[in-house]
Amino acid sequence: MENSNGILVYSSSPHKKAPHTTKWIMLNVLAALIPTSIMGIVFFGLNAFLLIIISLASSVAAEFIYYLIAGKPFREIAKDFDYSSCVTGLLVALTLGTNYPLYAPVFGSAFAVIVVKLLFGGTGKNFVNPAIVGRIFIFISFQSVVGSWLAPSIASVTGGTLSTGATTLVNILEYNTLPSLSVWDLLLGTGLSGCIGETCKLAILLGAIYLAILKIIDIRYPLIMVGTCGLLAVALKGFDFAYFLPSILTGGLILGAFFMATDYATTPNTKVGNYVYFALLGLLCAGLRQATNMETVSFAILLMNLFVPLIDKFILNRPFGHFKKKKERESK
Partner 1 sequence: MSLRKGKRYAYGIHVPDMKDLSKNYPIEEMPAPKTVYIALSQHIGAPATPIVNVGDHVKKGQLIGEANGVVSANIFSSVSGTVKEISEFVNGLGQKLKYVVIENDGKNEEVLLPKLPDLEPKTIIERIRLAGIVGLGGAGFPTAVKLTPKNPLDALIINGAECEPYLTCDQRLMVERTEDIYKGIKYTAAALNLSRIIIGIEANKPDAIEAFTKYEDLEVVILKKQYPMGSEKHLIYSTTGRKVPVGKMPFDVGVCVQNIKTMIAVYEAVELNKPLNHAIMTVSGNGISHPKNLKVALGTPFTDVIAFCGGERENVVKIVAGGPMMGRALVNLNQFVRKTDSGIILLTGKETNTQKPTNCINCSKCAQNCPMRLMPMYIEFYYLSGDYENAEKYGAMNCIECGSCAFNCPARRPLVQNIQNAKMKIKEARSNGKQ
User: Contact, 277 vs 304, CB < 8 A?
Assistant: yes
Tell me the C-alpha distance between 331 and 328, whole Å.
5
**Of the candidates 301, 304, 295, 299, the residue with the CA atom closest to the CA atom of residue 249:** 295
User: Contact, 274 vs 221, CB < 8 A?
Assistant: yes
Tell me the C-alpha distance between 131 and 142, whole Å.
16
- The nearest distance, CB 274 to partner 1, in angstroms, is 8
- The nearest distance, CB 21 to partner 1, in angstroms, is 5
- The nearest distance, CB 312 to partner 1, in angstroms, is 9
First to last CA, the chain: 65
- When the beta carbons of 15 and 332 are compared against partner 1, the nearer one is 15
- The nearest distance, CB 7 to partner 1, in angstroms, is 8
- When the beta carbons of 162 and 214 are compared against partner 1, the nearer one is 214
- The nearest distance, CB 221 to partner 1, in angstroms, is 12
- The nearest distance, CB 310 to partner 1, in angstroms, is 15
- The nearest distance, CB 268 to partner 1, in angstroms, is 8
- When the beta carbons of 22 and 153 are compared against partner 1, the nearer one is 22
- The nearest distance, CB 126 to partner 1, in angstroms, is 9
**Of the candidates 92, 138, 132, 139, the residue with the CA atom closest to the CA atom of residue 116:** 132
SS3 332: coil
SS3 279: helix
- When the beta carbons of 22 and 161 are compared against partner 1, the nearer one is 22
Nearest-5° Cα angle at 43, 41 to 44: 65
**Sign of the C-alpha dihedral computed for residues 181, 219, 22 and 272 taken in this order:** positive
Residue 216 makes CB contacts below 8 A (sequence gap 6+) with 25, 28, 29
Q: How many residues belong to the chain?
A: 332
- The nearest distance, CB 81 to partner 1, in angstroms, is 11
Q: For residue 209, which phi and psi values (nearest 5 degrees)?
A: -65, -40
**Of the candidates 186, 167, 168, the residue with the CA atom closest to the CA atom of residue 177:** 168
- When the beta carbons of 82 and 295 are compared against partner 1, the nearer one is 82
- When the beta carbons of 3 and 144 are compared against partner 1, the nearer one is 3
- When the beta carbons of 11 and 144 are compared against partner 1, the nearer one is 11
Tell me the C-alpha distance between 39 and 59, whole Å.
22
- When the beta carbons of 8 and 140 are compared against partner 1, the nearer one is 8
Contact residues: partner 1, CB under 8 A: 1-5, 8-18, 20-22, 24-25, 80, 82, 121-125, 264-271, 316-323
- When the beta carbons of 218 and 245 are compared against partner 1, the nearer one is 218
**Sign of the C-alpha dihedral computed for residues 130, 131, 132 and 136 taken in this order:** positive
SS3 124: coil
Tell me the C-alpha distance between 221 and 40, whole Å.
25
